[in-house]
């Protein structure tokens, strides 16, 4: 570890850490581990080493892959989850290959294994990293007994474009929230000390993948290095510091360099600067795709560049397997790099206990699924993650005898699971209709109106007839699971099909209408707000979506979810995110289209930054969400006016629950650095906490922020806290509150 890395690492952990320091027993920690790895490595042939660097997709059958495993040509498989077959795979590797090295089994467990939690964007909406940690630990507890060792999660891609379908898989637009969630997922999957009950986390996609041009998946990104370091890399750095065992390179090229061949990024920043000594795997054929990028002429050169960049394992290109031996003979790659890659892979296998217990007990695997703990944590996560966007008294439901449940998402067990739900089972999924039938004390009428979200209809007579018999209407609308996720980008973000028409028609009946949106992204729902009296927004909620939402709708608990990403009025506003840089001409109440006179003269004086047709504001800002009560902030003070760079800022505030319901507020602290060596964001989230208060309760509270958390990469390319003036807000979202000034010397 060089000095520069040491300093940066120390700064970095203070800058983004939400939790305790890196757990013991992570990679590189134990000399006993190193001895085992070195001993095994010394006994391996070149072909066996290269075999370890090869990952294949092997699902459904064992026979087609048996010979390759026996010959030591497979280090890892993905996409097989059957414990009996996994035991067979291991038996071939352990008992029939020369060195008996067990196979590392990977799977995309993105928001739960069988018990699916809300999609990661929904988990981020809880602003509750501890709950995210619990969810990840429960996912490990379900998957590991079945023989799965490694999950390709968490996805840490900052996403500021809701057209991009994979926005569903991450924590949204903010680096600090994302970093907190990153640490939580890593600790949850891996446990305090990675071992025989952990899943190895794989932080992905390194790096910048979420900035795909136009929101089109797999498109290139243009992220300059400072932006990369200040916005896109902090969650990865936080996860590395938390002990993430593995990392995946991304599909995208940034500024001309595909990540899988990007040595300055992987070898430079990740390995040398951050000291990452874990396993780096490519994304699916991202080595081979460097040929399609026109970055390498053939697979052999792609393999050479990937190894040179710092990649250890090839997912599904077979580039290492086919070409490394030849490349070594030609002296185009170094033996030391191959050895280093194999060390990383073997370390993970040792740390997860694969050599000690490669086999699993299928009966135990079965009984690990759908435990009470998992189901109740999933339900709680749903209830914490749904965001109340509007409520004119319709929620919670009160005095309703007959309830109409309608809409294509009301009883759509597959679609409520969301993207990456390979292992979820619709038969085990509880829909809102089912939960309401069980929990609602009154009559439930059910008329779906639309069978699926894309359906187009011109009228809804049977729904309207039922609405007339009901005291209130719950309309479950949104997006089918397949409309978000990988390769599922959209250019139009309005509610699809005839769903807006359905809401409008329901509203015209005069009955109170509650819209519950289940989607994979923040849709542009402005046109639907007038069609409902209340709107609850739930990112695809998973297995326990029904009970978790019913808890909110029926008032058993109050909504506390907050937008982890800015909600836009129209797709033309993309990209719009709260932590944008300060403009030379910030918006100031300009004239909109209908206020501009005919043949008005052009002027270049006094203009500011906005759209003539949509103004300057989003529909809902980052961090926004209502509850069944009201909260008031007061007495916001800092313990000092001026701080040194090593100090901790203690922010005191009083929070009052001024309404009638017990509820939780997500208290958010934002900071603006007034003058920087480079232009700084208008504000940035620097701390948050969830506080629960009884009706009428008032509490004096405080929250601490190390000054080092204000550091950023400025003009000199180093991460530092620049002295000067700052403003600080304590509020329930990113758009309200009164600033308090302070200084850093
Ligand atoms: C995705 C990754 C995923 C991998 C393995 C790729 O298409 O981009 O996120 O982990 O497949 O399934």
Q: Which two tokens stand for residue 151?
A: 């999950």
Centre of ligand 1 from the C-alpha of residue 574, in Å: 26
- 167 vs 10: CA distance, rounded Å: 30
Q: What pLDDT score does 630 carry?
A: 98
Residue 283: active-site member: yes
Give yes or no for residue 157 CB within 6 A of ligand 1: no
Centre of ligand 1 from the C-alpha of residue 60, in Å: 19
Q: Which residues pair with residue 24 across a beta bridge? A: none
Neighbours of 510 (CB within 10 A): 9
Pocket test for ligand 1, best of 283, 422, 423, 484 (most atoms within 8 A of CB): 283
Give yes or no for residue 218 CB within 6 A of ligand 1: no
Could you identify the residue written with the tokens 């991450």?
170
Centre of ligand 1 from the C-alpha of residue 372, in Å: 30
Nearest CA residue ID for atom 5, ligand 1: 284
Centre of ligand 1 from the C-alpha of residue 167, in Å: 14
SS (H, E, C) 216-273: CCCCCECCCHHHHHHHHCHHHHHHHHCCCCEEEECCCEECCEEHHHCHHHHHHHHHHH
Give yes or no for residue 486 CB within 6 A of ligand 1: yes
Closest-lying ligand 1 atom to the alpha carbon of residue 251: 8
Residue 210 C-alpha from the chain's centroid: 11
Q: What pLDDT score does 18 carry?
A: 64
Closest-lying ligand 1 atom to the alpha carbon of residue 79: 12
Nearest CA residue ID for atom 8, ligand 1: 283
Closest-lying ligand 1 atom to the alpha carbon of residue 169: 9
End-to-end CA distance of the chain: 30
Give yes or no for residue 152 CB within 6 A of ligand 1: yes
Catalytic residue among 108, 157, 217, 283: 283
Q: Which domains does the chain have, with CATH numbers?
A: 378-553 (3.40.50.1700), 631-744 (2.60.40.10)
Closest-lying ligand 1 atom to the alpha carbon of residue 250: 8
Q: What pLDDT score does 604 carry?
A: 78
Give yes or no for residue 204 CB within 6 A of ligand 1: yes
Nearest CA residue ID for atom 12, ligand 1: 108
> Comparing C-alpha atoms, which of 273, 274, 276, 252 is closest to residue 262?
252
- For residues 655 and 701, the answer to whether their CB atoms sit within 8 Å is yes
Pocket test for ligand 1, best of 170, 212, 486, 488 (most atoms within 8 A of CB): 486
Nearest CA residue ID for atom 6, ligand 1: 284
209 Cβ neighbours under 8 A, 6+ residues apart? 157, 166, 221, 250, 251, 252, 259
324 Cβ neighbours under 8 A, 6+ residues apart? 50, 53, 303, 307, 333, 338
Instruction: Give 543-594 as a DSSP string.
Output: TTHHHHHHHHHTTSS------SSPBPSSGGG-S--TTPBPPSS---SPPPGG
Burial 172-186 (b: 16+ CB within 10 A, else e): bbbbbbbbbbbbbbb
Closest-lying ligand 1 atom to the alpha carbon of residue 155: 9
Q: What pLDDT score does 603 carry?
A: 84
The structure's pTM equals 0.96
Neighbours of 701 (CB within 10 A): 15
Centre of ligand 1 from the C-alpha of residue 728, in Å: 39
- 432 vs 545: CA distance, rounded Å: 7
Phi and psi dihedrals of 202, rounded to 5? -125, 105
> Comparing C-alpha atoms, which of 200, 176, 175, 174 is closest to residue 186?
200
Q: Which DSSP helix (H) or strand (E) runs through 713?
A: strand 712-713
16: left (phi over 0), alpha (psi -120 to 50) or beta: alpha
Neighbours of 608 (CB within 10 A): 13
Could you identify the residue written with the tokens 């990469």?
713
Centre of ligand 1 from the C-alpha of residue 284, in Å: 6
- 261 vs 267: CA distance, rounded Å: 10
Rg of the chain taking only CA atoms, in angstroms: 26
Centre of ligand 1 from the C-alpha of residue 169, in Å: 11
Give yes or no for residue 488 CB within 6 A of ligand 1: no
- 663 vs 647: CA distance, rounded Å: 33
Mean pLDDT per 10-residue segment, the chain (745 residues): 35 50 48 96 98 97 98 98 98 98 98 98 99 98 98 98 98 98 98 97 98 98 98 98 98 98 98 98 98 98 98 98 98 98 98 98 98 98 99 98 99 98 97 98 98 98 98 98 98 98 98 98 98 98 98 98 98 98 94 93 88 96 98 98 98 98 98 98 98 98 98 97 98 98 98
> Comparing C-alpha atoms, which of 375, 460, 463, 447 is closest to residue 411?
447
Closest-lying ligand 1 atom to the alpha carbon of residue 205: 9
């Amino acid at each position: 570890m060089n000095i520069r890395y040491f300093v940066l690492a120390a700064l970095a952990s203070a800058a983004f850490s939400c939790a305790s320091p890196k757990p013991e027993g992570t990679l590189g920690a134990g000399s006993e581990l190193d001895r085992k790895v070195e001993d095994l490595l010394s006994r391996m042939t070149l072909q066996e080493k290269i075999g370890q660097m090869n990952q294949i997709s092997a699902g459904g059958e064992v026979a087609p892959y048996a010979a390759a495993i026996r010959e030591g040509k497979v280090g890892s498989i993905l996409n097989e989850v059957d414990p009996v077959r996994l035991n067979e795979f291991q038996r071939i590797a352990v008992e029939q290959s020369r060195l008996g090295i067990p196979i590392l089994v990977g799977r995309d467990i993105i928001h739960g294994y069988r018990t699916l939690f809300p999609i990661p964007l929904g988990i981020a909406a809880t602003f509750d990293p501890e709950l995210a940690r619990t969810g990840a630990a429960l996912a490990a507890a379900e998957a590991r007994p079945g023989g799965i060792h490694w999950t390709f999660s968490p996805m840490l891609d900052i996403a500021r474009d809701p057209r991009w379908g994979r926005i569903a898989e991450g924590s949204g637009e903010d680096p600090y929230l994302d970093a907190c969630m990153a640490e939580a997922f890593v600790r949850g999957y891996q446990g305090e000390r990675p071992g025989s009950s952990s899943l190895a986390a794989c932080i992905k996609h390194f790096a910048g993948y979420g900035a795909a041009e136009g929101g089109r998946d797999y498109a290139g990104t243009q992220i300059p290095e400072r932006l990369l370091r200040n916005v896109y890399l902090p969650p990865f750095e936080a996860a590395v510091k938390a002990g993430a065992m593995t990392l995946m390179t991304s599909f995208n090229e940034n500024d001309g360099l595909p990540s899988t061949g990007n040595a300055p990024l992987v070898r430079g920043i990740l390995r040398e600067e951050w000291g990452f000594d874990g396993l780096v795997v490519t994304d699916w054929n991202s080595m081979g795709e460097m040929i399609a990028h026109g970055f390498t002429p053939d697979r052999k050169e792609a393999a050479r560049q990937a190894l040179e960049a710092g990649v250890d394992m090839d997912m599904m290109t077979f580039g290492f397997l086919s070409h490394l031996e030849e490349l070594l003979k030609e002296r185009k790659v170094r033996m030391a790099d191959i050895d280093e890659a194999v060390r990383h892979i073997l370390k993970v296998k040792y740390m997860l206990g694969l050599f000690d217990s490669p086999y699993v007990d299928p009966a135990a695997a079965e009984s690990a699924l759908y435990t009470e703990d998992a189901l109740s944590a999933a339900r709680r996560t749903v209830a914490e993650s749904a965001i109340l966007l509007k409520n004119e008294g319709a929620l919670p439901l009160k005095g309703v005898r007959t309830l109409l449940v309608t809409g294509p998402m009301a009883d759509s067990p597959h679609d409520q699971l969301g993207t990456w739900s390979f292992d979820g089972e619709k038969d085990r999924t509880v829909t809102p209709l089912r939960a309401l039938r069980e929990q609602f004390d009154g009559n439930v009428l059910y008329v779906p109106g639309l069978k699926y979200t894309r359906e187009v209809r011109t009228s809804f007579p049977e729904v309207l007839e039922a609405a007339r018999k009901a005291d209130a209407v719950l309309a479950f609308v949104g997006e089918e699971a397949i409309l978000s996720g990988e390769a599922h980008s959209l250019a139009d973000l309005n509610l699809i099909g005839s769903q807006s028409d359905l809401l409008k028609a329901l509203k015209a009946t005069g009955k109170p209408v509650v819209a519950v949106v289940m989607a994979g992204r923040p849709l542009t729902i402005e046109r639907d707000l007038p069609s409902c009296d209340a709107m609850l927004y739930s990112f695809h909620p998973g297995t326990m979506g029904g009970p978790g939402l019913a808890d909110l709708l029926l008032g058993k608990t109050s909504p506390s979810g907050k937008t982890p990403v800015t909600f836009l009025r129209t797709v033309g506003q993309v990209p719009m995110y709260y932590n944008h840089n300060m403009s030379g001409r910030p918006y100031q109440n300009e004239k909109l289209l209908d206020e501009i006179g005919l043949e008005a003269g052009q002027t270049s004086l006094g203009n500011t930054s906005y759209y003539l047709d949509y103004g300057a504001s989003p529909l809902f800002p980052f961090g926004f969400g209502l509850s069944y009560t009201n909260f008031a902030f007061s007495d916001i003070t800092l313990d000092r006016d001026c701080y040194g760079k090593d100090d901790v800022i203690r922010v005191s505030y009083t929070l009052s629950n001024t309404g009638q319901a017990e509820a939780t507020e997500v208290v958010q602290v934002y900071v603006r650095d007034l003058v920087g060596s480079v232009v700084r964001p208008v504000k940035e989230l620097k701390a948050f906490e969830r506080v629960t208060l009884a009706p009428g309760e008032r509490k004096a509270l405080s929250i601490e922020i190390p000054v080092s958390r204000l550091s950023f990469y400025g003009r000199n390319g180093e991460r530092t806290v620049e002295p000067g003036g700052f403003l600080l807000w304590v509020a329930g979202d990113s758009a309200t509150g009164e600033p308090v000034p302070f200084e850093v010397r």
